[in-house]
């Protein structure tokens, strides 16, 4: 196993919500490069453009970097879009993962892959363990399960982390949607019958750093395995929305609770998304902060990033005007 300084990590989907935080958190301790489908202005590590659905380009990109570890965070994550675009969902979530796994095997790189609570049907009473049998009810969940199965059967060295209800600064997520709606509404409806663990992408990235610094043998020299990962505590979406509004001094915006059947969306969601964190605690000595603490750190960071983005857009507009003038 290479020592830390020469340990090279390639992150796919490096410009996405999780990929961006992985790059920011891991770059100080490891050599980090990224791959993404299109240019990303906020990335702080070198990256190449590569469409992972293209097998030869994916192999060429991974071979040219010779990473020790590939963290595969790229996916088609729009659950409702996947429900209506099966072919594309299979290509992006299954085909691209196969290409990444095959290339990793070729260069003897270990693999970390992110799957989802949506591989379960949500009917279990109690927390889902890694031993429970998946039974996805959405097409997205189905494609992520197919990707898992390919990894378990074919990857030489891999760890699958099933993560859940992810939120972060660089992408579409629930807290951002609630804050956006609260900007022009006094009242909104949110479902109250789905329960899960809101999980901050920054905390997932910190957890990866901890594993790679302290428990690297779990990624290397071992057959593919699955861990569930998430922030501590559980909540339903409506109460999570209330918490976000209260912490943002928007408590006057009212949340009306509704059921999942009232919210007609193309893809069904599991009612119980609560993943057991026991294996994570016992085998990787990992316990993430509570979702409340995570959200309290996330909200001011989001505010700072949005203000910085605003400044950048204004500066770009001013520069354009100057050039035109
Ligand atoms: N978001 C959640 O709530 C959640 C929950 C559980 C598990 N997960 C899993 O966690 C992982 C990270 O999710 P995320 O929310 O960070 O995703 P995300 O924000 O949607 O980012 C995914 C990134 O991958 C890129 N990408 C997609 N297809 C690609 C391709 N063919 N080639 C190269 N790049 C490609 C995307 O580019 P474009 O944006 O240009 O397409 C995007 O930059 C995924 O595996 C997801 O399934 C997410």
* Confidence at residue 175, expressed as pLDDT on a 0 to 100 scale: 97
The CB of 139 under 6 Å from ligand 1? The reply is no
Residue 140 falls in the annotated catalytic set? yes
In a domain, 308, yes or no: no
Residue in 73, 95, 115 to alter for ligand 1 test, most ligand atoms within 8 A of Cβ: 73
Among 47, 118, 128, 140, which one carries the catalytic annotation?
Answer: 140
In a domain, 245, yes or no: no
pLDDT tops 70 at residue 3: no
* Confidence at residue 313, expressed as pLDDT on a 0 to 100 scale: 78
Q: What stretches of 90-179 adopt beta strand conformation (E)? A: 110-116, 158-163, 166-167
The CB of 52 under 6 Å from ligand 1? The reply is yes
Q: How confident is the model at residue 4 (pLDDT cuts 50, 70, 90)?
A: low
Ligand 1 mean position, distance from CA 17 (Å): 7
Of the chain, the end-to-end C-alpha distance in Å amounts to 58
Q: Which residue has the tokens 């199965």?
A: 149
List, in sequence order, every residue forming a beta bridge with 275; answer none if it has no partner: 128
CATH number of the domain bearing residue 207? 3.40.50.720
Q: Which residue has the tokens 């006057």?
A: 252
Q: Which residue has the tokens 């830390």?
A: 4
The CB of 15 under 6 Å from ligand 1? The reply is yes
Percent of the chain with pLDDT over 90: 85
In a domain, 163, yes or no: yes
pLDDT in tens, 86-97: 999 999 999 999
The CB of 39 under 6 Å from ligand 1? The reply is no
* Confidence at residue 180, expressed as pLDDT on a 0 to 100 scale: 93
In a domain, 9, yes or no: yes
* Confidence at residue 208, expressed as pLDDT on a 0 to 100 scale: 97
Torsion, Cα 81 86 91 92, to 10 degrees, reads: 20
| H/E stretch holding 92 | none
* pLDDT average, residue stretch 81-87: 98
Ligand 1 mean position, distance from CA 81 (Å): 13
In a domain, 135, yes or no: yes
**Token pair in block for residue 15:** 């410009």
* Confidence at residue 320, expressed as pLDDT on a 0 to 100 scale: 78
Q: What stretches of 180-237 adopt beta strand conformation (E)? A: 187-191, 195-196, 199-200, 225-228, 235-236
The CB of 175 under 6 Å from ligand 1? The reply is no
Paired sense of beta strands 235-236 and 195-196, if any: antiparallel
The CB of 38 under 6 Å from ligand 1? The reply is yes
User: How many structural domains are present in the chain?
Assistant: 1
* pLDDT average, residue stretch 32-50: 94
Mean pLDDT, the chain, rounded, equals 94
* Confidence at residue 124, expressed as pLDDT on a 0 to 100 scale: 98
The CB of 166 under 6 Å from ligand 1? The reply is yes
Which phi and psi angles does 111 have, rounded to 5°?
-130, 135
The CB of 16 under 6 Å from ligand 1? The reply is yes
Which phi and psi angles does 10 have, rounded to 5°?
-110, 125
Report which of 228, 232, 229 is spatially closest to residue 292, judged by C-alpha positions: 232
In a domain, 221, yes or no: yes
74 CA closest ligand 1 atom index: 24
Range of the domain at 144: 4-171+198-231+274-290
Contact 14, 61 (CB under 8 A): no
The CB of 74 under 6 Å from ligand 1? The reply is yes
pLDDT in tens, 280-295: 999 999 999 999 999 9
In a domain, 11, yes or no: yes
pLDDT tops 80 at residue 207: yes
pLDDT in tens, 123-160: 999 999 999 999 999 999 999 999 999 999 999 999 99
Ligand 1 mean position, distance from CA 158 (Å): 19
Residue in 11, 16, 90, 228 to alter for ligand 1 test, most ligand atoms within 8 A of Cβ: 16
In a domain, 285, yes or no: yes
Q: Is the pTM of this model over 0.75?
A: yes
Residue in 12, 18, 199 to alter for ligand 1 test, most ligand atoms within 8 A of Cβ: 18
96 CA closest ligand 1 atom index: 31
């Amino acid at each position: 196993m290479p020592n830390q300084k020469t340990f090279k990590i390639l992150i796919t989907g490096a410009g996405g919500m999780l990929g961006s935080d992985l790059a920011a958190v891991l770059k100080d301790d490891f050599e980090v490069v990224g791959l993404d489908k299109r240019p990303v202005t906020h990335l702080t590590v070198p990256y190449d453009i590569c469409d992972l659905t293209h097998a030869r380009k994916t192999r060429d990109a991974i071979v040219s970097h010779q990473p020790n570890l590939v963290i595969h965070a790229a996916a088609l994550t729009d659950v409702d879009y996947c429900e209506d675009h099966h072919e594309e969902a299979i290509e992006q979530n299954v085909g691209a993962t196969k290409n990444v796994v095959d290339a990793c095997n070729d260069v003897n790189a270990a693999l970390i892959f992110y799957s989802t609570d949506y591989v379960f049907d949500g009917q279990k009473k109690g927390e889902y363990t890694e031993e429970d049998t998946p039974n996805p009810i959405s097409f997205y969940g189905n494609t992520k399960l197919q990707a898992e199965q390919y990894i378990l059967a074919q990857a030489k060295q891999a760890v699958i982390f099933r993560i859940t209800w992810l939120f972060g600064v660089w992408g579409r997520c629930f807290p951002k949607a609630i804050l956006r709606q609260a900007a022009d509404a006094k009242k909104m409806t949110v479902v109250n019958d789905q329960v899960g663990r809101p999980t901050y992408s920054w905390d997932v990235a910190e957890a990866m750093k901890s594993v790679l610094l302290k428990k690297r043998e779990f990624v290397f020299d071992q057959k593919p395995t699955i861990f569930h990962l998430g922030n501590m505590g559980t909540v339903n979406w409506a109460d999570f929305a209330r918490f976000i509004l209260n912490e943002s001094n928007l408590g006057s915006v009212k949340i009306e609770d509704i059921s999942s059947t009232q919210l007609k969306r193309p893809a069904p969601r599991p009612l119980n998304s609560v993943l057991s964190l026991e294996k994570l605690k016992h085998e990787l000595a990992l316990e993430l902060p509570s979702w409340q603490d995570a959200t309290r750190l996330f909200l001011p960071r989001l505010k700072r990033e949005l203000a910085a983005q605003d400044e950048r857009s204004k500066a770009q507009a001013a520069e354009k005007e100057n050039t035109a003038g």
